Amino acid sequence: MPLIDSHAHLDFADYGDDLPATLGRAREAGLVHVVVVGQWREPDGRRPGSRVGMDAARDAVELARSDRSFLSATAGMHPHDAARATGADLRELEAICREPECVAVGECGLDYHYDRSPREVQRELFAAQVRLAKALRKPLVVHTREADLDTASILERELGQDGGVIHCFTGDWAAAQRYLALGLHISLSGVLTFKAADALRDAAARIPLDRLLVETDCPYLAPVPHRGKRNEPAYVRLTAERLAEVRGLPLARVELATTENARRALRLPA
Ligand SMILES: [Zn+2]
Ligand SMILES: [Zn+2]
């Protein structure tokens, strides 16, 4: 049965020379498509060989262009980097988001867990990217951590008609309902397999099946039993298996539904 990893940071140097083998393992695991999330990157030297600033988002788009039937890209500015964003970065982001291989604007949003940029600045940059998605008629990929109230109110004010995905959703059922009311899809990561994630599993059991996606957010958040190690798209199967268990459904049903949902929400090639 097919599967789609709706959120992967395959342009990170964590893969490097292992990228072709990583993509091979993804295909062997039954994946039919992977969405590569491009984002502005700080010049901190932690990832030798990868480009910085908005050029890092171009890397994701170029990677998608190298294998259009299997890969698509997104481009955005992460809330962690909000304080570094310049007007030139936003203009550059708009140009990248116009590329046909760039299916969505993001990830963008609010992160009040790490608070790496001031919250007011995060909110401004998020709203600007929601407006960009609306102007370009593309869906949005949203990152939100411990910020569901503000994330939902900005979306309620600014979201256009093209919908999008709450990626790596870790909220509860009340938060999920607000996003569902906006017509958004909800993507679950390996966090669903973590021992302490009972509130998330409760929400995952209640969200309508036709609104759910699965993702890895690799290289982060590897599902059990790989927790703490480098994650990769092939492991999205473990999250789909846990989702099937949580909902009491056959795995094949979850695989088909999440694949169809990802294609529809992010307008991926069939
Ligand atoms: Zn994220
Ligand atoms: Zn991410």
* Cα–Cα distance measured from residue 217 to residue 213, given in angstroms and rounded to the nearest whole number: 12
For residue 46, the model assigns a pLDDT of: 53
Ligand that lies nearest to the alpha carbon of residue 167, given by its number in the listed order: 1
Ligand that lies nearest to the alpha carbon of residue 109, given by its number in the listed order: 1
For residue 140, the model assigns a pLDDT of: 98
| SS3 state of residue 164 | strand
| SS3 state of residue 224 | coil
Taken in order of first residue, the domains within the chain and their CATH numbers are 3-266 (3.20.20.140)
The pocket of ion ligand 1, defined by CB under 5 A, consists of 107, 143
For residue 47, the model assigns a pLDDT of: 59
Gap from CA of 268 to ligand 2 centroid (Å): 18
Tens of pLDDT along 201-213? 999 999 999 999 9
Task: Pick the closest to residue 60 from 91, 36, 95 (CA basis).
Answer: 36
Tens of pLDDT along 10-40? 998 889 899 999 999 999 999 999 999 999 9
pLDDT band of residue 52 (cuts 50, 70, 90) is confident
Gap from CA of 267 to ligand 1 centroid (Å): 20
Ligand that lies nearest to the alpha carbon of residue 219, given by its number in the listed order: 2
Residue 43 has pLDDT above 80, yes or no: no
Gap from CA of 37 to ligand 2 centroid (Å): 7
Gap from CA of 157 to ligand 2 centroid (Å): 24
For residue 1, the model assigns a pLDDT of: 84
Tens of pLDDT along 225-244? 999 999 999 999 999 999 99
Read off the tokens for 17: 């020379």
Measured from the Cβ of residue 91, the count of other Cβ atoms closer than 10 Å reads: 10
Residue 45 has pLDDT above 60, yes or no: no
* Cα–Cα distance measured from residue 203 to residue 118, given in angstroms and rounded to the nearest whole number: 29
* Cα–Cα distance measured from residue 59 to residue 75, given in angstroms and rounded to the nearest whole number: 10
Gap from CA of 107 to ligand 2 centroid (Å): 7
For residue 141, the model assigns a pLDDT of: 98
Cα→Cα distances 196→117, 170, 224, Å: 28, 11, 12
Residue type (1 letter), 58: R
Contact by Cβ (8 Å): 169, 221: no
Gap from CA of 191 to ligand 1 centroid (Å): 12
